[in-house]
Structure 1
Amino acid sequence: MEITLFIFILLTLLVLGTHIGVALGSSALVILLIFEGTNLTVISQQAFESINDYALAAIPFFILVGDIVMKGDLAKRLLDLADLILRRIHGGAAIAAMIVSVFFASISGSSVASTTALGKNVVNLLGEKGYPKRFIAGLVATGGTIGLLIPPSLSFILIGSMMGIPIIDLFTAGIVPGILQGVMLILVTWWISRKNRWESEFHNIKVTPKMIGERFKSSSGILFLPVLILGGIYLGIFTPTEAAAVAVFYALLLVIILKKTNMRGVWTMFKGALLQSGMVYLIIIGGALTAFMLQSLGLTQGLINLIAGSGLEAWQFLLITNLLIILLGLFLDGISVIVLVSPLLFPVAIAAGIDPIHFAVILTLNIEIAAVTPPVGLNLFVMSGLTKIPVEDVAKGVGPYYFVLIISLLLVTYFPQLSLVLLK
């Protein structure tokens, strides 16, 4: 009865256009107050504790870094460097775009931020070389998803803070799957480009060490940023939150030195990051209240008992989990899915003998798929806006890459060593 009413209220609010964070929190609040008689003080404490976590302070900083890189036009320098180095290869510019997508994953930690930062520059570069808009849009939309997997990942920061898992362990667990997925996406890009003979006329263009050196010099500032972030974290100099703050300072200093912004531009960046962060925190609060409601109703423990009594093996549970999360991803954004399912599924996964770090990587891979899956896939809408083509055409461009995402998910799901090898 209570769960049915919760779902009805939630769906009604979403249909009316209510923000997902408000919809989750309001629906849970009704159930807690009316059916459970929960004190408002307890509810407010749950809401406060859900965001009273030092690790979550990294979120606005990493969002801001991605915004600075995008508006400071730093992505173009890297793209030009990679394009020059790979110019004599079939699809060199497209491969360069995918490699730079992987690089930006180590800066922003966000799928949408990576897609947005690279989108305009890639559209211009590949468009000039005759690539179809559908292919360009699919490439960038898919490449941006790696931002969720390669550290520093906002997905891992959120999961770690919610479930009490060391964030640096989650970052480490994402490295091998992220690199594996990046290599697979690069190979598919090369294969498609070779098949269509894109850029074949550029093979004889001369590329000299001097030309590469000049572009490397102009890109050196942004090239150092992931070294600063990841090096600082893994050498124990910074916590992830401190690394995010240092990255903001460095990126701001870089764009100011390069005269890519002014004080008005800086204020606009800070304002945008503040608004985006507020929406993220609102979703976290709504998800936390929903999780508290489910716990109060005994659903979490009931689900654990159900799985234990059903005789399901771990691989069967993971298969069902993947299908469930992909289904939710059709209608909800990644952050909403994480805050909604993590408190419910992590205890069940642990009870089934699944390593929580491995399960976090599986969840993140599912969120990657959601980012490029209609009708809510945010990366599809970003690239639709940049290329001026319909969302369905962007989805068709993602098609060949979609199989890579599914294969990556299956490999990581059933070969946990891929996630845990660096933690041994």
Structure 2
Amino acid sequence: MTRKPELLVVGGVVILAALIVAALLMRKPAIAPIQPPPASSFDAQTKLAGARVVALGDCIVCHTAKGGKPFAGGLPLATPFGTIYATNITPDVETGIGNWSLEAFTRAVRHGVSRDGHLLYPAFPYIHFTRMSDGDISAAYAYLMTREPVNASAPANELIFPLNFRPLLAFWNVLFLRPGEQAADASKDAGWNRGKLLVDGLGHCASCHSPLNAIGGEKSEHAFDGGIVDGWEAPPLNALGSAPKPWTREQLVMYLRSGRASEHGAAAGPMLPVTRDLATVPEEDVNAIAAYILSIQKAQPAVANASADAAAHGEPSPAAQRGAFLFAASCAQCHGPAAPMQSIGERPTLAFSTAVNAPTPRNTAQMILSGNGWHGEDSMNYMPAFSEVYDDRQIADLASYIRATYSQRGPWNDVEATVAKVRKENKAR
């Protein structure tokens, strides 16, 4: 009996050692560096196609730090296991991919393996990019290799043990990586297949819009059921047909290309830069994305009607009553029913807002705290931040009022605690 703890420790050490040895044996060989190919070696048509591929893959969003040079890396990517810093993918020889061959680039995209043989963290969504065609991978390579080289090294990753031991990723790949180009479904038309390839592959939509398991893998049985990214809830993509105002393909295309839809709202948080990229690609691509997303809709639980909800919840809560005064002071100018911005800016009623109708107050709290930054001439999405104006209780009161006034769903629980948590997360980034 007294030896049992010792045996457990020894057994654990043996198992860990076996895993480490096995992982080291699975290390991939390095691919020899090359001299950086001259920009003139890539034809204009291939580079143009590459720009389209890179935009559809949102590469600049993740590989550009705030205030940094495009594609030079350094952006911190927060995960439940620590912080990963995006790498430099400019054609700089020392710190980027300047000495990578197309073979090395393809292996990274399809298998998550760097040129020197070390395994890449799945924050780089190679489990989706692996489905890209060889032509798209070659085009992306041509585009990136003709960008401005930037000498910039990413900070060291800050991950917990043992996830900071890269060889263990080999076991993660066994579970979640299915390498290879995506085959077309012969029973579907070309537009649907194009949409599926963009959503499941290059666009890697499930990376944000699906929940993750304990080791950071997507729960395939809950694909597109919604997730959390950078402190924002990525709403379920398979519930758009059950929104208070069901999405149409035209509205979804407008939203994806402009960042706003007149009957639904404006993009914010991590989704906003995605719409900036999608505005640069051919509309046929976004049409295909929208058509595929609307084809995967699932029936959702029924929501009580307004009268039943009112009967169940009675008078507005004290928090909602306090929030009414704050709304009149700070929000009604744009979001009130008589506000000119409702017609001039085509702002939808908050009754259609995904955030206001969400199961939790997280995104409403984020919008009030963080707002939506100013984007020059494209100012219709602008909303000021109130994080420095109101405290946690006041923002919770505002959120409670908006929920009670504009949604037919019941009140949220623990609103102030959510606001405090979101504010803390935002400050840590």
**Structure with more helix by fraction:** 1
Higher-Rg member (1/2): 2
In terms of fraction of residues, the more strand-rich structure is 2
Higher relative contact order (CA 8 A, sep 6+): 1
Q: TM-score range by the shorter chain?
A: under 0.3
Structure 1 length as normaliser, TM-score?
Answer: 0.21
